[in-house]
Amino acid sequence: MQKFSEFKYTRPDCAALTAQYVEMKKQAENAKSADELCELLKKSDELDAEFYSDYSIASIRNSIDTRDEFYNDEVEYLMENSPATSEAQSDFMRAVLASPYCAEVEKRFPKVMFTNARMAVKTSSPETVELSAKESALVHEYQKLCASAKIDFMGETLTVAQLGPHKIHPDRAHRRAAFCAEGEFYMSHADELNRIFDDLVKVRAEMAHKLGYKNFTELGYLRLTRNCYDEKMVEVFRSEVKKYIVPLVAELKKKQAQRIGVDSLKFYDDGVTFKDGNPKPIGSYDDTRAAGVNLYKNMKPITAEYIDFMDKCDLFSLIATEGKAPGGYCTSIPRYKAPFIFSNFNGTAGDVEVFTHEGGHAFADYVAERAGYPLSVQGPTMESCECHSMSMEFLAWPWLESFYGERTKEAKLAHLQNSLFFIPYGCMVDEFQHIVYNNPELTPEQRHEEWLKLEAEYRPYLDMDNLPFYSDGHGWQRQLHIYHNPFYYIDYCLAQSVSLEIFALSQKDWEDAWTHYYAFLEKAGTLTFVELLEQAGLSNPFKPGSLEKICQTVREYAENYDK
Ligand code: ZN
């Protein structure tokens, strides 16, 4: 088994690949049978897997060290040239979909593959290729700016990720100072942050208009392949959140304030669940890694097989270092059937989530890569991917002791509450983006005002206490997704509600919860989100009332905890 460091990277020849797709488009137009068309689809799948593998390797190595010039150049080359290649591929798909043999071919693949393909070809045209490259460059600029952060704090120079533990420090003045230091960094780049986002909104609006949509929101939904729910359904979900979850969170936040001994909860208290600080992994980084590996070794035979592969191939980059891109993610390299987990360990519960959350994504990738599905349906849409990871966080509960030791009970409460608390925040991010893209003429200042209004609606219990950056409504600018991946946030909220149902099931019977979970995961991307839920016997979060049950379970758990 090869290790990640031995994985071979070759710069994809984008021009040659583009030419190949142009040729395949002609062949699709002239195909004389369903078999011929099918062969072309398989060929496209292989080309895509190869291209995606190299793209993945370059991106991973670039994010591990953003100062490395070789991979920086490679990523720049790929970002500049890949839009033309994907456009040629889309053009090929258009020819496949228009072929008289398409209906025959469709029967041989999962139905959703063609539903998705029909949506995908509507998201671009040769006229938007240049705009798409411009969009990627702006996102890259934002990421570089955040990664460049050198924040002076209490005699140290820290990255945003390294500042994380200070923001939940048991000493209130300490964590307030950390929030101030972070806020000041962002405010010192306010003009750039505003300009990058304003350009992004304009580029996205122009793209939507060129493709004939009334605004970017429509295009944004298509780009995320929302194949089983629309804007209206999302609005219903958000109003259910306002109705059931916001009041429960306010209730639980009062208890949190009592528990940590403050009379009113300030913005910088929000992440502190316990007076003597939040439970942290008890061991070294190596111990956390070992506990993460053991978790999967002991869960199920299939998870043991998966983690063994990850461990032997060294498919992790875990520790925060200078030059490393912020955040955490899981991606995969199809050529090696290899998931990859990237993170910035910082000594908090976040390190455990790398295993329980990103580990859940990686597990789903591992299973799908071995099921023999075509590449385009190996992964479902993103809210379903988040179900894999967020539910795994709860399925991991029986093994949390090896991470948290004596504070496991507290760690569980913090995890459960934070999962619930996240939903209003996520909905706020979602509603904000609807406002922004439905009203592209808003000025940066007006956007900040809109954000503040949403704060009052979704997190009325939070006092900003004149913090720089946050109290002026700029807080959304530290949310990578808003820049990087518009409308990709409600996905987390939907998935979180599914994961809370898995939690409720596991409280009664872990094996039963696992059965529902695996039924959902095993189908990979061969069904839509709503279909995946149905066949796995899980609730549909768009149905009014489904959140009420979840709130009930969380409330009971919290009440029992305090008894
Ligand atoms: Zn995730």
| DSSP per-residue string spanning 441-504 | T--HHHHHHHHHHHHHHH-TT-B-TT-TTTTTT-GGGG-HHHHHSTTTTHHHHHHHHHHHHHHH
Neighbours of 29 (CB within 10 A): 13
Residues sharing a CB contact under 8 Å with residue 258, sequence separation 6 or more, in sequence order: none
Q: Rounded distance, CA 119 to CA 532, Å?
A: 19
The span from the CA of 523 to the CA of 365, in Å, is 11
Ligand 1 centre to CA of 492 (Å) is 8
> How many angstroms is it from 102 CA to the middle of ligand 1?
34
CA of 419 to the centre of ligand 1 (A): 13
Q: How far is the CA of 188 from the centre of ligand 1 (A)?
A: 30
How confident is the prediction for the chain on average, in pLDDT?
Answer: 95
100 Cα: distance to centroid of ligand 1 (angstroms): 39
Q: Report the pLDDT value the prediction gives residue 125, as an integer from 0 to 100.
A: 84
DSSP 374: -
Expressed in angstroms and rounded, the spacing between residue 131 Cα and the centre of ligand 1 is: 28
How high is the pLDDT of residue 426? 97
Cα(442) to ligand 1 centroid in Å equals 31
Distance 361 CA to ligand 1 centre (A): 7
pTM summary value: 0.92
Q: Report pLDDT for 340.
A: 98
Answer yes or no: is pLDDT of 428 > 80: yes
Residues 6+ apart with CB under 8 A from 388: 360, 361, 363, 364, 520, 521
Q: How far is the CA of 179 from the centre of ligand 1 (A)?
A: 25
Q: How far is the CA of 160 from the centre of ligand 1 (A)?
A: 20
Dihedral (CA of 559, 409, 358, 507) sign? negative
Question: How far apart are the CA of 135 and the centre of ligand 1, in A?
Answer: 23
Q: Which tokens hold the place of 247? A: 């009041």
Distance 481 CA to ligand 1 centre (A): 12
Percent of the chain surpassing pLDDT 70: 100
Using the mean position of ligand 1's atoms as its centre, give its distance from the Cα of residue 92 in Å.
31
345 vs 317, 318, 330, 480, CA distance in Å? 9, 6, 14, 18
**The residue type at 329:** Y
Say how many Å lie between the CA of residue 368 and the centre of ligand 1. Answer: 16
Q: Is the pLDDT of residue 226 over 80?
A: yes
Is it the case that residue 112 has pLDDT exceeding 80?
yes
Tell me the CA–centroid distance for residue 353 and ligand 1, in Å: 10
Q: How far apart are CA 543 and CA 243, in angstroms?
A: 14
164 C-alpha vs ligand 1 centroid, how far in Å?
19
- The pLDDT of residue 325 is 87
Residue 488: pLDDT over 80: yes
Q: Are 255 and 562 in contact (CB under 8 A)?
A: yes
Rounded Cα–Cα distance for residues 362 and 354 (Å): 10
Query: Measured in angstroms, how far is the CA atom of residue 171 from the centroid of ligand 1?
Result: 30
**What spacing in Å lies between the alpha carbon of 21 and ligand 1's midpoint?**
32
Residues 427 and 241 sit within 8 Å (Cβ to Cβ): yes
CA of 480 relative to ligand 1 center, distance in Å:
13
Are 419 and 390 in contact, with CB atoms under 8 Å apart? yes
Instruction: Give 389 Cα–ligand 1 centroid separation in angstroms.
Output: 6
Mean pLDDT, residues 412-431: 96
Q: Are 446 and 434 in contact, with CB atoms under 8 Å apart?
A: no
Give the Å distance between the CA of 497 and the centre of ligand 1: 14
Structure confidence at residue 487 (pLDDT): 96
**Rounded to whole angstroms, how far apart are CA atoms 511 and 505?**
9
Going from the Cα of 15 to the center of ligand 1, the distance in angstroms, rounded, reads 33
Does 160 have pLDDT greater than 90? no
- Spatial CB neighbours of 77, under 8 Å, sequence gap ≥ 6: 11, 14
Section 39-64 average pLDDT:
96
Report CA(204)–ligand 1 centroid distance (Å): 25
User: Strand order in 338-345's β-sheet?
Assistant: 316-319, 338-345, 329-333
pLDDT grade for 348, boundaries at 50, 70 and 90: confident
Question: Per-residue pLDDT tens for 271-324?
Answer: 999 988 889 999 999 999 999 999 999 999 999 999 999 999 999 999 988 889
Residue range 368-386: average pLDDT? 95
- Count other Cβ atoms within 10 Å, centred on residue 229: 21
531 vs 528: CA distance, rounded Å: 5
The CA 137 to ligand 1 mean position distance, Å, reads 24
How close is the Cα of 328 to the center of ligand 1, in Å?
Answer: 9
Is it the case that residue 491 has pLDDT exceeding 80? yes
Q: Distance from the CA of 271 to the center of ligand 1, in angstroms?
A: 20
Give residue 20 CA to ligand 1 midpoint distance, Å: 34
pLDDT of residue 148: 84
pLDDT confidence of residue 391: 98
Buried b (16+ CB within 10 A) or exposed e, 304-327: eebbebbbebebbbbebeeebbbb
pLDDT tens-digit profile of 500-530?
999 999 999 999 999 999 999 999 999 999 9
- Between 78 and 320, name the one with better pLDDT: 78
Tokens, residue 26: 């002609």
Range list of β-strands (E), 235-394: 316-319, 329-333, 338-345
For tokens 């100072």, the residue is 177
Distances from the Cα of 509 to the Cαs of 388, 398, 519, 560, in angstroms?
A: 19, 12, 16, 18
Alpha-carbon distance 13 to 82, whole Å?
Answer: 10
Ligand 1 centroid vs 449 CA: distance in angstroms? 29
Model confidence pLDDT, tens digit, residues 121-154 = 899 888 898 898 899 899 999 998 988 889 999 9
Query: Please, which pLDDT band fits residue 239 given cuts at 50, 70 and 90?
Result: very high
* 329 alpha carbon – ligand 1 mean position (Å): 7
User: How far is ligand 1, taken at its centre, from the CA of residue 348, in Å?
Assistant: 18
The alpha carbon of 383 and the centre of ligand 1 are apart by a number of angstroms equal to 9
CA of 354 to the centre of ligand 1 (A): 9
Q: Average pLDDT for residues 369-394, to the nearest whole number?
A: 96
Query: What pLDDT score was predicted for residue 374?
Result: 92
Mean pLDDT, range 408-421, rounded to an integer: 95
* C-alpha 386 – ligand 1 centre gap (Å): 5
What separation in Å is there between the alpha carbon of 387 and the centre of ligand 1? Answer: 8
Q: What is the pLDDT of residue 83?
A: 82
Q: How do 156-158 and 151-153 pair as beta strands? A: antiparallel
Q: What pLDDT, on a 0 to 100 scale, did the predictor assign at position 77?
A: 96
Distance (Å) from CA 479 to ligand 1 centroid: 14
Tokens of residue 404, six digits: 């948290």
- Distance from residue 214's CA to the centre of ligand 1 (Å): 31
Q: How far is the CA of 198 from the centre of ligand 1 (A)?
A: 27
State the distance from the centre of ligand 1 to the C-alpha of 499, rounded, in angstroms. 12
> How many CA atoms, within 13 angstroms, populate the side-chain half-sphere of residue 480?
14
User: How would you classify the pairing of strands 338-345 and 316-319?
Assistant: parallel
Q: What is the mean pLDDT of residues 186-206?
A: 96
| Distance in Å, CA 235 to ligand 1 centroid | 22
Query: Rounded to the nearest whole angstrom, what is the distance from the C-alpha of residue 140 to the centroid of ligand 1?
Result: 20
pLDDT at 562 over 80: no
Query: Could you tell me the distance, in angstroms and rounded to a whole number, from the CA of residue 360 to the centre of ligand 1?
Result: 8
Tokens of 533: 């839920």
